[in-house]
Amino acid sequence: MKKQFITLLLCLTLFVILGCSAKINIKPNSDLTHIRRVAVLPFGPNGTVSDMFTTELIGIGKFDVIERGQLDKVLDEYKLSLSGILDEKTRKKLGKLLGVDAFFMGSAQIYKFYSEFHGGTRYQTSINIRLIDIETGTILLSCSDSGHQYRSIKSIVKKINKAFK
């Protein structure tokens, strides 16, 4: 029993130290004031993580976020793949077609593990998001967090909100 308590205490300490606050990096000397209209490229299983991210992003009121259906339509119509969007010509073309200043892209990994304490399977998500300038292709900011999927997204959006104040 004492060993389980120590293990739990260690896990909680690590969670507090490592997993409860998003980490953000902003490109030095970058001017974020021109970023107002953005697109969120799909990421996560079936785009669910990007949908939740979009919902939280809209809530802070800093950006005009284009509807995902509009993004999908343009990608389909012009046969643009997500992998080719970082190409300069494609990136600028996409930016003009959508009328956006930048786009958010990211990745999400979901880890399944067995928790002896909880007596069952638990999940943890690792989320990484980048804001890419349409004109230059420069990563203006990157942000990551891990833990519970929804809390991680909220934490990341909170950091993004602070970066745009």
Indicate the burial class of 160 (C-beta count within 10 angstroms; 0-12, 13-18, 19 or more).
Answer: buried
Q: d(Cα 94, Cα 139) in Å, to the nearest integer? A: 16
Q: Is the Cβ–Cβ distance between 133 and 119 less than 8 Å?
A: no
Tens digit of pLDDT for each residue in 13-32? Answer: 444 444 457 899 888 888 88
The secondary structure element, H or E, covering residue 70 is: helix 68-77
Pick from 86, 49, 51: nearest CA to 69 = 51
Mean pLDDT of the chain: 81
Task: Indicate the pTM of the whole model.
Answer: 0.78
Please list, in sequence order, all residues whose beta carbon lies within 8 angstroms of the beta carbon of residue 51, skipping any fewer than 6 positions away.
68
Using pLDDT thresholds of 50, 70 and 90, give the confidence band for residue 78: low
Q: Does domain 22-163 have CATH number 3.40.50.10610?
A: yes
5-19, 83-97, 130-144, 147-161: segment of lowest average pLDDT: 5-19
Provide the sign of the torsion angle of the four alpha carbons 113, 114, 118, 122, taken in this order.
positive
What is the pLDDT, as a whole number, of residue 5? 40
